[in-house]
Every structure is written in structure tokens, then in C-alpha cells.
Structure 1
Amino acid sequence: MENDLSHPADGDAWKYFDNIHKDFAADARNIRLGLATDGFNPYGNMSNSYSMWPVFVVPYNLPPWACMDQSNFMLTLLIPGPSSPGKDFDVFMEPLMEELQELSKGVKSYDANSPDKFDLRAAILWCIHDYPALHTLLGRATAGYQACVRCDKENCSKKLRNKICFIGHRRWLPRYHPWRSSKEYNGATERREKPAEFTPEELKEQLDRVRHVIPGKLQKKRKCEDGQCWSRRSCLWDLTYWEDLKLRHNLDVMHIEKNICDNLIGTFMNIQGKTKDTVNSRLDLEDMGIRGDLHLQPVSADSSEMPHAWYTMSKQEKIAFCEFIKAVRFPDGYASNISKCVAADKCKLQGLKTHDCEDYDNMVWYVLRSCPEVDPYIDLCKQELNQRGGQINVDRWLAKNFARWFQTHIGKMQNDVCPDLYALACKPDFRVRLYSACFVDSVRYHTVDRKKNKKTQNSGIVSEGDHDGNSIDFFGQLKSIIRLQYNSSGGVHRSVVLFRCDWFDLGGRKPGFDDDGHFKSVNTEKFWYKNDPFLLTSQATKVFYVPDTKLKGKWQVVQIFHHRHLWSVKENEQGPGVAGLSYQDEDSSQVPVQEKEGTARSRTRSDQERVLLQKVIVDKLKK
């Protein structure tokens, strides 16, 4: 499918390599590889000073579900500690480089589908690593004034009091973007174009300057020339095809996300040692002449006040936030148990992982596409996408980008839309609330976790939906209850409550659904539609499940019922006890009748032990 990246072969880097090396691409048996490395501590928390570096080679000539399977990874090197190899990394890479150079030329191999031997070739398409490993593996500067990998020339670095900052990101914005004219960011406007990249000749010149840098940490440091972005020439440049690669390094976004998340939370909660809102940062603001309300304020001859920033939390807010985090429960395998990250004093978060904030956008998109008032704007956005031309997966684009497009579009016409629609466009608060129970139209709902300690069952859910173009009933169980808080104004409280459900798999080779004409049964062992778990409370109908004594195992019989304390009465009808003494719902459901009865061989069973009764007792009973 066009513009759908389901395998590395769909990417531009793969196609670019094939276009240059047509002889390599002509034989589908030639192997494309990825090289991944990172340092880790094998002793965990027992030792903080040990660093071991494995080097993996990953083959991509496999289906998507297999090329990233751990069983197909090849551990080619294991560089021991106790410290990072640094410039010595190339020394450890020599055995692997010899094999890669040999594979680039071709190695006689046997094909099971052909009696003839052929020259098997292999090429490294890219490396995968975190940001610091970019310097360890490839020699690219990751610290100092040339640390930005997107600024080959005219870097955006600036020296502050005790660190070097990169504050020229507005150079990548469109030329007439309003943020370019704003002085609130760093006290100046931005009119420069984005930095230019090195040409092949300039890149070769950069590498030639450090060609003679030899390994060893005791070597005398060389003084870098202005604009020099490389500290050494990596041995990977010895591969004949390396200079032709379009994407030589892939930065592991997981590490970057975690570091940013830690810094943000550390700043919001003012965690000592992790917050970026320090005295030095306040002095930097003063030096730059921006955000005067955050400058240090002198209160006496020997003291100054550091005003609390609006984004920091009070003691009570920290406790409330940590209690919220401690109460969050996600489905198994979706995210880490972030409640373990809450420290004993309930004022710190530590050890956060990467997957805990990615569900927010999915919830926002589900609310928008479930709101009829938003449908005209979705159609308008689709029209704009069609006018752009090209092969765009509209559904995927809308799921990822419509909320931002909708916010921008409604923001331009704020005075012409109703307050509810404007609040919807502004997105809900990031601080969502989770509940384990709720009432919807007087119907009680409990989550599965809450049900475990109760003798009643209130977590069964059924909802009508579309599957492969057909309308079917989706059966599941309630995992969590989520409330999104939108902007409130004019005394109007705006919030949306969502159900997060696990849907039982009704399809597959072994169908998880059975209907014998009397009862409907579902297999509760497997789930589907894991990427679409949300449901508005108005779309849910409560059911309960009982064990299926026929199919047994994980099979459960679905019981759809009418609540005894609820009536389905139209507004123009008179309910019970108003017009008359008797009331009956005319739309009563009928019990299905089996058309053909089965023929019983015998009305008695001979496989059970006989029960004997005395004749006296029998006679007495007859009288």
C-alpha cells in the first residue's frame, strides 16, 4: 500500500539504496541488514560503573512479524566493560567489518531451490542506537556547539551560564509562521532559513580532517576546527556502499521520549536534581531579557526571592497527582505499572517508562469522530487531503492529525462557533480521571478489577459496531472508566466519560462465537480490536456472562436482560400508574423456537446407579 510503512522495504532509504545499487537489488536473495548497539549494565542496580556493549545484526529479508523477532537477532559482538569503549569501538568492530566487506563483494552460497551456487551479498542499510551512541559508533559530535545532528552548517547553539542550548528550532517553521515574529520565545524574531546540510564533498572534507585519529583514550586531544562535526572517521565508512546510504543512523526514540518525560515531570513537581527550573535558568532568563515575572526578586540586602512558576505543583497537588498515578491501571502488556513509580512520600515519580502517555490522542480522536457536530469538519478535512494529491492514507492521517487540524481551524473562527464546539476543539485536560465504578442512566457499571472482590457482576458490555462492512454485536468487558475534562465556562461543566473495553475475539480460524438458536456464547480467552478499545457510555449496553456447560472451558453464555427498575417509555406516552392500572410493553421479545425437534433414542438413562425404594413405602404413598 502506498505511504504505508509496514516493512522497512516500504521506506525511502531502502528504495534509494535499490535505485543506486541496481545489481544488488536485482537478486532478491541478497540480504539487507540493520546494525544495533547500546550500552547496558549487566549488574542492574548492584553496580553503577559497569557498561557492556552488545552489537546486533538484524536481517530484514523476512516478513514484518519475523524480521524484528528476537530469535532472528544475531549477536555479532559483545564488548566488555567496565567502561564505554569510546574511540576504541572501531577496534572491536574489526572482525565484524572484515565479514561485512566480504559479504558486500559476495560469498558463494547454496540455494535449496536451485542446484547451482550463487554469490550471496549483504549490506548494512542503517544503524540503530540512542543519541550518545551516535558518537561512540560513528564519531559524530553529540556534545558541545556542534551537537545538533540537524545543524550541519550555521548551527543554532548558544552559550548560557553553565550549559550550551539549541534555541533555533523556529528556523524549520514556514517563512511566515506567526511564531517567527514573536519575541516571547528568546527575545528576538527569527528570519533565518533552516541550516543547510553538508554536500558529499563537504562531508568528505569533514571526515578527511579526522582520518588519522587513532584509538586510545590516552591520546592527546586534538583541537577541533570551527564547524567540525566529526571527531573521528568510523570504520563503517570503509564499506564501499556506506557513502550512498540515505539514512545512516536511526535514533532510538524511546530513550529520547523517556528523557523528555523525566525532565518535564521533574520540573512540574520540582524534584531536586531533576528539575530544570533552577537558579541558573532564572538568571539565564534575566540575561536574555524575557519573562520578567520569573526573574529573581530582591527582598532584602542579603536575600532574593525565586518566584514559583505557574507550571510547578504545590504540596497538595503533588500528593493528588501521585495518588492519581498510583491508582492508574492499564491492560496487561499495554503499559508498565506506573503506580510503582510513586515514591513513599507521594511527592516523587521515578523509573517511568515510555508507553504511559500514548493513549491520550486515541481517546481525543474517538470523542471527535463520535460527535455528529464534528462530522462536517471531518468531511472538510478529507476534501483538503484529496486536493493535496498523492497517495495519502486518509483514515490513518485523520487518526493522528485531525485533532490538531480541528483545533487550528476552529481557533480561526472562535467567535463564530458555539462554546461547546470550541471547548471540544481545545482538547481535554491531560489530567484524565479514572474510576472503577459509575452509574449511566441509573445502570451500575464496575470494572473487571473491581468485580474480582465482589459476588455480583457489572462489567459485561455489548455494543453494535462494524466489522468487514457488516454490522455485528461486539461483546466485551469493562477495563476502566475514563473522564476527560474539557474547558468549562459560563457555569457549564463539560466532560466526556469513556469506557475502555476488552472485546472478545468473535472471528479467526476458530470462531469465538456460537449461536445455537437459543443461546449466544463467546470465547473469553482471546481478544481483538485492541487498538480500538474506547466506547461512549451512551453506546454501551450492560450484559452479564454465565459459564457455558456445553462448550465449557473459557466459553461464556451472554445474557441480555432488561433492568427491572427501568422502562423504555417515549416522551409522548403515559407511563405506568398514570392513565390506567395496567401497563405492558408492546415490543416484547419472543423466544426463538427450534423448527425441527431431535429424535430421542430413549427416555431413560442406564448409565446412572439405580435408586431402590421399599414396597411398603411405595404402597403407603399410593394410598
Structure 2
Amino acid sequence: MNETSSQYLTHSRKVVYMGHRKFLICTHHWRKDKKNFDGEVDFGEPVVPKSGHEVLNDIDGAMDFSEPYRFDKTRKHKYSDDTRGWKKKSIFFKLPYWPDLKLRHNIDIMHVVKNVIESLTATLFNIKGKTKDTSKSREDLKDHRLKKSLHLQPHGNSFIMPMACYHFTKNEKQRVINLLKSIKFPDGFASNISRCIKKEEFQLSRMKSHDFYVFIQRVLPLSIRGCLTKEVRVVLYELSEFIQKLCARNVYLDVLEKQEAEIVVILCKLERLLPQSFFDIIIHLLIHLPYEAKLAGLPQYRWMFPFERKVGVLKGYVKNNARPEGCIAERYLDNECLTFCSMYLNDVESAFNMTERNNERMDVQGQISVFSCKGRPLGSRKICDMSANELKKIHTYILNNCHEMEKLINDHKVELEKENYNDGSTRQQLFAPEIRILSHGPSHSVNQYSGCMVNGYRFHTQSREKNRKTQNSGVIVQGCHKTNIIDFYGILQEVLELEYLGDNKRVLVFKCDWFKIDDRNGLQVDKESRATSINTSRKWYRDQPYILASQAKQVFYVPDLKLGRNWHVVQSSIPRALYDIPLEEVYQEQEPVLNSGIDLNMDKAPLTRGGGTVPLEIPDLSTVGGDCQGLDDEGFIDSSDLESSQEEEFSEDEDDCTDSE
């Protein structure tokens, strides 16, 4: 504990944990950088975690733990250098195997991410009472002679607080708030974040832990496109990617080893940009997350999300606030009794026979691929008669995408060469019963629905989700365009169910509008964030709108703040309760990479917006009783001075599109 770098800030009256340069390689040029860090060179070595036996020896030698610890306000407790900070001996050390464990206490990634992003968003939006960039933090910078461009400047009887490079301007706040108000996620992907927006005050409030988890991975990288300075955007992209990789379903050991080095660079970049008061202990804990993932495995099996949900259910049992424990005990016992009794009830829906809301149809017994799709239509059925031309298009597409047909055609050609062409009985033996049913074609009466559950996704047509808060109409499918295999992006318009002769022989088909993405006017990939943007006003393949429902995967579209107008950023969705388990050994090189690496070019990054000439006026510090961070920047910001910093180049190379995928 003594080796952890910490510093007490006099004006902010808090302990901060910086000094992350000691985790860099010995030859890194940032170790000699005094100006942009704490004013000193840092050639220290990283802290080596103590073993359980070493910790136990330190605790036993610290003080007598036989009596409970009592804090004496009249004098300061002094500890030796080896045992400073120990006040309690954990009861787990009574277990014989506890000192031998490599990971004795798990850092909850859910609360770490929640607190980190809450502090970060409050600082970016300069939310009063929550931001870490206050007048007191600026005074601390002045005392330590750091970041001179951010020091408070006298202005008559008051002081001016220069606008930092990590602050949103008023126009940028308006754009980001409008995006958060209009964003829609797929069903079950996230909660309705728009309810957490205070549009008049440009603030985020009442966000839950999972909202912050989704915000850092999906929303924040899209919100800062075209905003802030390049250096701030890059480090936020890298932080978002770090958390996204760490919380992925599949975590590889070599990726975790790279993340141990990347998070050090990310924290050093944040030290160069943000004030000292930002780096409390929760920020420092980020550096230990990859190491714990190497020891304990996936964070999904260690975080607090399921426990928090269970506690929320138990809190709902409380009807008498004077006796909360009794209410929870009675309701829990009632629930257990009813659940046990429901095991003997066959004609009543219970927890054992209840149909899931998002289950797929499991009664399919087809032998060929087109008849074995387990999709389940949603909504009321509407029977319509389809024209012969449209029916022919659908039937032709089904035949071309039936894997059994390709082999059958090749075998049939070989058989025709051997047998007599007039011998029909021999050729008929080659056809399976379902192949003959498929050859007769579908019925002209087609069932039309407004939704479908397939491949773990819940799809809705565009007309169905018009007045909803969710977006489930985005479709992506791989296809061939001019001999190249590309991803086609579209919007679901209709869900059709074709009926064939036979018992329950049906095929689910999607009718979609496809966006034209053959040039830069239709698709662009950002170099910084690797975000794929498409122009939703251009359409193509209007004569081939049909695909099999089993081929579709789900995406959702977010308005692009950088390109504006009809441009939207494509975001992939994750299927429900489905895991892609490879049959062969998968090497890490096959995993998608969002960014090519950590950018280290920050030596000339400015710390103020518009060259440091955009001030925020605050009153005299001698009359300030609290923080001065919530003052409005209206009247001090010239938006024309900021336009030049918001322009970015997009990749003109189509190979970047493939790399981003």
C-alpha cells in the first residue's frame, strides 16, 4: 500500500492516485516529461502485488486486532511504514487456503465502469456539482505549476476559468443531447436512455449501472464524432474499446496481455489532459482489471448485475417500510411455496411450463435447410395473394439458397450421363420427398406478419416500430456484388411466410429495402473510431428485396453527428442466449480489431479550446462558498473559432471498410 502513488490536493481536499508512468516501459519518453505530468521525472518501477502470506505478515505486525478498532479524534494514529493503513483483519484469513489464493478480493467491474463513466460524462458536460473540473481543481494546478493554460486568470474583481479541451461547447451539447433523445436500441439491448436527458439543462441524470455500461461502449464514441479536439476523441475511443474488449463474451489471454499495456497508456493520456482531481481511486482500479481477468476469467461471471437485479426484486416485496425484513421474508416464503405447488399443476401456466417471450418455434422437423428454420412469426396474421412475378422471384431465391439443391443438380447431371434419358423412375429416386415438395412451388396465398423471432434476434417491420422506443428493423446479410462478398445493410419492410404442399412445410422470407453502399457517397469508414456510416437515402437492388429469415442478422442505426443529414452509423446487435462456439481451434488473429492500436502522438496536444482564448467567467474566489463549475458558457464562446477543430477526414480507401468489419 505504501508503494501506491498518491497525492493530497489542498484546495480540492482529496487524495488522488496518479503516477501511472511507472507502469510504462523504462525507455518510454513520457517518463522524462515534466511539463505535461506532475512536474517530475518518473523512473520508478511498477508495484508488485503482494502474496497472501506477505499481506498476512504485514497485518499481524501492524497492531493488535483482538479488540475492535476505535478512532480517537484527539490524536492522529501513526503507523509504521510497512503497515500504514491497516485497520482491520479480514475474517477470511481464518480459512487455511486464503493466503494461498492469487485473487483474494474481486474488483467489481460493474461499479468501476459506472463510477468512471459518471465522472467522465459529468466533466465533459460540465455538470454542476458533479464535474471534477472546478475552480478548486484549477487552483491545485496552479499550486503544482501544471497546465499553465488552464490556470484561473484575474479579470477585474473576478476570475476567468479558461475553457478546457475536454469541455463540450454549448452547440456541441445541443447536438449530443438531441442525439441521445432520438437514439433507439433493439428490444432488450438497453433501457430508454432518452428518459435520462434534461434537455433544458444539458445534463444526464437517473442513469442506471447498465445504462453507463451501454453508454461507454456504444453511445459515447458516436456522441463525440465531430466534437471536442482530436486528442480527447482518440483517448475516449481507446477507453471505450478497452472496456468493450474486456467485457466481451470471448476473452483471449494474448488480448488481456495487450490490454495491460494499453490501459497504462490510456491513463497516462488522461493525466496529460484532465485535472488532477479527476484521478480518484476508482480511476486507478482500471489498471488492475486485465490482470484480474487473467486470473479469474470472464467478467460476466464476477460482476454484480445479477445480484443487483435480485436485490431489486426483494426490495419490491417491501410494503411496510417499518418492517422491511419481515416483508421480504414473508413474500419470499410465499413465492417458494407457490413455486413448489405449481410442480403438481399441469393445466395452469407456471414457472416450469411458461413460454418465454422471445422463444423461437421448435416444432420444425424439416430435413432440408429451407424447411428447418426455427423462426417464429410475431403479430397477427394477414393473408394476401401475391402476384405470379413476385412469387417467382421468391421461389427462385429459395432454390438458389438451398444447399441441398447444388449437390442434387451435380448428382443429377452425372446420373443423366449414365442412364437412359427416358428412364424417369431412375431419376425420380434421386429426389428426396421434401425436394419434390419444394419443386412444386409455394401457394399463392402468403401469410404476412409484422415481426419475427429468428437466430436469437427479435425483428420488427419498419411500420410496426414507427411509434415505439425500440429499433428492431435493421438487417445485415452477406451477399455477392460483382463477384465480391460484401455486407448488405437494409430495413425490414415485410415478413412473409410461404406455404408448400405437405405437413407444416413453410419458409420465412424477409422483404427489405437495401441501402446503396458501392462508393463513398453511400458508405464511409472513420479513421479514428472505425465507425461505419451509410447513406440511408440511396437504395439499390429494388428488384431483389427478398432474403431467407435464417440468413438475417440484426443491426441498428444511429444518426451520424459528423456527416449529418441522411447519414447513420451502423451498430451491430448481439443475439439472445446464443454463443458462437467454433468447431475448430480459432486463433486470436481472426478476431475483429476496432482500432489498429494506441495512438501515442499527443506531445503537442492543446489543453484549451480555440487556442485557449475561450474563457468562462467566475466570481471572485474569496466570495465563493462552493464549486464554480456550473456556470454557463454562453457569451464567451465563438462557435466560428471552433469549426476548424471539428472537421475530420474520412478514409477514401475501400480496404478500410473490410478492416473495420
Fold match (TM-score > 0.5): no
Q: Which one has a larger percent strand, Structure 1 or Structure 2?
A: 1
Larger radius of gyration: 1
TM-score by length of 1: 0.38
TM-score by length of 2: 0.36
Q: Which has the higher contact order (CA 8 A, sep 6+)?
A: 2
Q: Which one has a larger percent helix, Structure 1 or Structure 2?
A: 2
